[in-house]
Amino acid sequence: MNIFSGLEKIVKEKRPLAKETWYGLGGPADYFVRPESVEQLREVVVRCNENNVPIYVLGFGSNLLISDEGVRGAVVQLKADEFAKVEFEDERVRAWAGVELSKLVLDCVKKGLSGIETLTGIPGSVGGAVRMNAGGNFGDIGAVVESVTLMDRQGNVFDKSKPELEFDYRRTNITAKFILNAQMKLSSGDPEQIMRTVKEIWVYKKNNQPLNTTNSGCIFKNPRGESAGAIIDRAQLKALQAGGAVVSEKHANFIIAQKGCTSKDVMQLIKLVRERVKKRFDIELELEIEIWK
């Protein structure tokens, strides 16, 4: 019996995942699910629970590495129109999980809304950005998020607001499986001035990050008060290679996937970098990237 009987339109079996990630790496998922509504999502969650099928939530595939063997379970991606809505009301914006972060930044600029231009150049979806409190040198998304609508592992939908909702460096206290949407409080500003800020940040990132390569963003979190990239650089690990994976010479916290690279290569290089940094500086580098294996 097919556990997703009646939902065949939104469920694909043995679906390759590589093209869903920025790395372009990784094997298939047992089930790949794209619900078209909150109700369908709830039904998928219920059926997975009833059949002991693990659930993985996929955004736009940045900051993610999937093993060459793929994923044993159901990979759920909230990318349908229902999950890609943006609602503006004065200085408040409600963005659903499947909204592309870079598009939201530009839409806010056009409306003269300031607060998320600091996220310029950060890839991914709003859901993923909120989950990991995406940000950088210029700020993070947690600074503007007031509340989130969530769905737990049992399919219950509820809201969580500040101060109960907490953001820290690359983490939140959200434990629910799904972030459905986030409400943000922005401020009015001059669209031209906000766009100048966007362009300045973009130029900075273009000059300091390997944007024209196949990568998944920063691999490691910055240790408190330090830069992971600078630490890896001081350990003289730029250009270190394992198979088709290589540490970027432009920014050492990026691992580039060259032609023929496998997920195993990237994992091996991550292991090498961590071991050598630990040996050289006695620093335990913590992963920022998520690995599914």
User: Domain segments of the chain: what residues?
Assistant: 8-81, 85-207, 228-292
| Contacts with 48 (C-beta within 8 Å, 6 or more apart), sequence order | 3, 54, 55, 73, 74
Is the pLDDT score of 172 beyond 70?
A: yes
Which CATH code, of 3.30.465.10, 3.30.70.1400, 3.40.718.10, 3.20.20.70, is assigned to 85-207? 3.30.465.10
Q: Please state which CATH class domain 228-292 belongs to.
A: alpha beta
The C-alpha atoms of residue 66 and residue 17 are separated, in whole angstroms, by 8
pLDDT at 136: 87
Is the pLDDT score of 1 beyond 60?
A: no
Give yes or no for a contact between 126 and 145, defined as CB atoms under 8 angstroms apart. Answer: no
113 three-state secondary structure: strand
- Reported as type and span, the H/E element at residue 134 is none
Q: What is the mean pLDDT of the chain?
A: 97
pLDDT at 2: 87
pLDDT at 135: 93
Q: What is the mean pLDDT of residues 9-16?
A: 97
Interior/surface letters 33-60, b for 16+ CB within 10 angstroms, e for the rest: bbbbebebbbbbbebbeeeebebbbbbb
Give yes or no for a contact between 18 and 24, defined as CB atoms under 8 angstroms apart. Answer: yes
Is the pLDDT score of 97 beyond 70?
A: yes
pLDDT at 217: 94
Give yes or no for a contact between 208 and 242, defined as CB atoms under 8 angstroms apart. Answer: no
What is the DSSP-derived secondary structure letter of residue 221?
P
Q: What is the pLDDT of residues 34-89, one digit of tens each?
A: 999 999 999 999 999 999 999 999 999 999 999 999 999 999 999 999 999 999 99
Q: What is the pLDDT of residues 260-273, one digit of tens each?
A: 999 999 999 999 99
What is the residue whose two structure tokens read 């790395």?
A: 23
Taking domain 8-81, whether its CATH number is 3.10.180.10 is answered by no
| Contacts with 73 (C-beta within 8 Å, 6 or more apart), sequence order | 29, 30, 31, 48, 53, 54, 55, 56
pLDDT band of 137, cuts 50, 70, 90: confident
pLDDT at 238: 98
Q: What is the pLDDT of residues 108-117, one digit of tens each?
A: 999 999 999 9
The fraction of the chain above a pLDDT of 90, given in percent, is 97
DSSP string, 148-217: EEEE-TTS-EEEEETTTS-EETTEES--SSEEEEEEEE-EE--HHHHHHHHHHHHHHHHHHS-TTSS--S
